[in-house]
Amino acid sequence: MRIVQISDTHGRHHLLKNLPDGDVLIHCGDFSDNGTEEEVLDFLNWFIDLPHPHKIFVTGNHDLCLWDADNIEDLPDNMHFLQDKGITIDGVRFFGIAYNHPTGIIPDNIDVLVTHEPPLGIMDETMGMNWGNPDILKRVSGIRPRYHLFGHAHEASGIVQSRDTIFSNGSVLDDLGELRFLPKVFDI
């Protein structure tokens, strides 16, 4: 299975031309800039039209109009809004949590954790500050998913492996809002 990860497009998703092919495309939140319904609908229409067989997304701190949503009606069957829930695709277990939601809901037996926030101290530094979440770090350290995909800290975009987990910050924009980083690609 090939996974393509992006995050933090902030309404500039149309700038992403020629996304890599993959089986699952994951957006780790902040797909809008001001969190309006209009921005979210524009993103959803763009996301739906992409050729990837499966698409997963979670909300970030900018995606205000979806913060309290449990579900989004009329999404295609291959598009998965993982707002504090999971899905298994071809035997790979995915689980997503929304921005600033409790980490206790994350199950033990998952392969890919999708969050907006990074774990504290792991690819979380931007603008001279650490933006990571200590509760996410504690939970990830305990369950050790194969992959933890996130964004939020734009300038910390990258991939690092620690023990059993590959951590990936999929931010594609820098702190100035310029498209600077490439999508991340994983074969699992």
Over residues 84-107, the mean pLDDT reads 96
Lowest mean pLDDT, pick from 60-74, 78-92, 127-141, 160-174: 60-74
* Residue 163: pLDDT over 90: no
pLDDT tens string 17-59: 999 999 999 999 999 999 999 999 999 999 999 999 999 999 9
**The pLDDT value given to residue 166:** 98
What's the pTM value of the predicted model, to 2 decimals? 0.96
Which of 54, 70, 62 minimizes the C-alpha distance to 105?
A: 70
pLDDT attached to residue 126: 87
The rounded distance, in Å, linking the Cα atoms of 76 and 180 is 30
**Token pair listed for 57:** 């997304």
Q: DSSP code of 119?
A: B
Q: Which two tokens stand for residue 74?
A: 């009329």
| 65 or 118, higher pLDDT | 118
E runs forming strands in 90-172? 92-96, 112-114, 125-126, 129-130, 147-150, 158-162, 165-169
C-alpha–C-alpha distance, residues 54 and 172, integer Å: 20
Please say if the pLDDT value at position 71 is more than 90: no
At position 162, the amino acid (one-letter code) is: S
pLDDT band of residue 69 (cuts 50, 70, 90) is confident
Paired residues of 119 in beta bridges: 133
Residue 38 zone, left/alpha/beta (φ > 0; ψ -120 to 50; rest): alpha
Calpha distance 64→101 (Å, rounded)? 13
Using one digit for the tens of pLDDT, what is the confidence trace for 111-150?
A: 999 999 999 999 999 888 999 999 999 999 999 999 999 9
Strands 184-187 and 2-6: antiparallel
CATH 3.60.21.10 fits 2-187, yes or no: yes
